[in-house]
Amino acid sequence: MEGCRLRAFVAHRVAEILEMSAVSQWRHINGSLNPADDVSRGVSPSALSRCHRWFVGPTFLQLDEQLWPMSTEIAVDADDPEVMNSLRLVAAVVHQEVNCGMHLFDMVSRFKTCVRIVAYIYRFLHYKTFTSTSVTLSAWEIKKALAKCIHVFQRFAFPEEYELLRNGMGLNPKSKLTSLDPFLDEDQVIRVGGRLRQGIQLDINRHPAIIPADCSLVHRLVWQPAAKTLNEFRDALDWSSVDRYLADRQIQWKFLPPAGPHMGGTWERLIRVAKKALVSVLSGNAVTDEVLSTVFAEVESLLNGRPLAYMGSDVSNPSPLTPFYLLTGRSSVYVPSDILCTEQCTWTKHWQHAQVIVERFWRRWQRELLPTLQRRTKWMMESPNLKVDDVVVIVAPNSPKGQWPLSRIVDVFKGKDGRVRVVNVKTTTGTYKRPITRLMVLESVEKPP
């Protein structure tokens, strides 16, 4: 029987049977020869003797296989409820859309070459409005070409979000771009919006372009400045001086052979210590990311807190020399730093120390905290603005039980984005200014569509 003609449950069972055996291994036994029918039809225990066919099987099994009864092919009844009436053939046609812009980045390895190719294509398509006679590309053309490249990747990665933004509509709350408050710029590039657009001028790009993480453009954009820096560093080196410096100090490169980590005794020993500590702490248990990060920090602290030299009996210097001395100036991070001023401290040193702390804080604030302010964690869905004469209920935490003070909006205050977040409400006791998060609309002057 063809498995595709059977219904789901029976088809799955037939498939499991055929995986463990072949069709040629199965034979049909008539009811008169089937020993299973003896028990199902009722046989007394005394009749089940030691030589009964229930224990030894049908009698023809003791004969040669050529003398076994021939099994006849049983036709499948068309009215069987487990058999489908007809076969349904489904043909799927897969149409793969080729994106020329992305295909160009796959063919050309150098990022600058890709951008220049796009710039020349852009010049050719707009030759009627192009007034310059220079063969060399301008900075404006390179900028437009880069924006076009980003636009192509964005349309391929975020097609739904792009169409909604192009039509001036809000994004789906479930979209992964909603928290970034994206918008389209003049080059049709999706950029990060966020609350930083109202902030002070910073030495960062306040509205960076949103680029999908799994596209080749990200690798090119990240590698381009890194490769430029590495090339400048490589060109600045005087390799003859480097070779002479190494030769004078009898320094020669010797690499470990593959599969021979034990030959790097000093550093490989530290790796083994770290692995042993991790195995001892975790003991094969599955832990969360936070717990694993904590374990890594503890193991790192143990390794950096190990003594580098023999600990003598000198009481004037009880602290051993550890790697922490190179990192923090202390033998352990658990020991608080000495904040007491000695006689040599001056106000100038205090001021310099404070400036160092402020500079470190500013760098960490720009690097760690500032990017998190771009994301929007709530208020994902668009809601209509409150209007004058709307009847609302003031939600007050200190209101008595069962009392809901009614009020009417007499004035609204719009922000720079045109959204109403604060209103003046009039109650029986006076007029108050309240945020919209503390109001619940009962009756609006304009009914929603």
What is the per-residue pLDDT for 379?
65
Work out the number of other CB atoms within 10 angstroms of the CB of residue 104.
16
Give the residue ranges of DSSP H helices in 46-196. 53-56, 100-107, 111-125, 139-157, 159-166
What is the per-residue pLDDT for 263?
64
Work out the number of other CB atoms within 10 angstroms of the CB of residue 106.
10
What is the per-residue pLDDT for 410?
93
Phi, psi of 441, deg, nearest 5? -75, 130
Class of residue 188 by CB neighbours under 10 A (exposed 0-12, middle 13-18, buried 19+) = middle
Exposure b/e, 335-365, CB count within 10 A at least 16 = b? eeeeeeeeeeeeeeeeeeeeeeeeeeeeeee
Are the C-beta atoms of 409 and 392 separated by less than 8 Å? yes
- Ramachandran category for residue 192: left, alpha or beta (phi over 0 → left; psi -120 to 50 → alpha): beta
Q: Please give the class, per CATH, of domain 391-443.
A: mainly beta
Q: For the chain, give the longest Cα–Cα distance.
A: 113
Class of residue 171 by CB neighbours under 10 A (exposed 0-12, middle 13-18, buried 19+) = buried
Closest by alpha carbon to 156, among 212, 104, 96? 212
Below-70 pLDDT ranges, the chain: 1-4, 48-51, 72-76, 78, 85-102, 128-133, 195-205, 256-263, 265-266, 308-321, 325-326, 329-379, 447-449
What is the per-residue pLDDT for 310?
54
Are the C-beta atoms of 31 and 40 separated by less than 8 Å? no
Coil, strand or helix at 428: coil
Closest by alpha carbon to 121, among 101, 103, 139, 92? 101
pLDDT in tens, 26-44: 777 777 777 777 777 777 7
pLDDT in tens, 390-425: 999 888 777 777 777 889 999 998 887 788 888 999
Could you tell me the two tokens for 440?
């619940």
- Beta strands 190-191 and 391-394 are unpaired
Give the residue ranges of DSSP H helices in 190-288. 216-236, 239-248, 265-282
In the chain, where the domains are located: 100-224, 257-309+318-336, 391-443
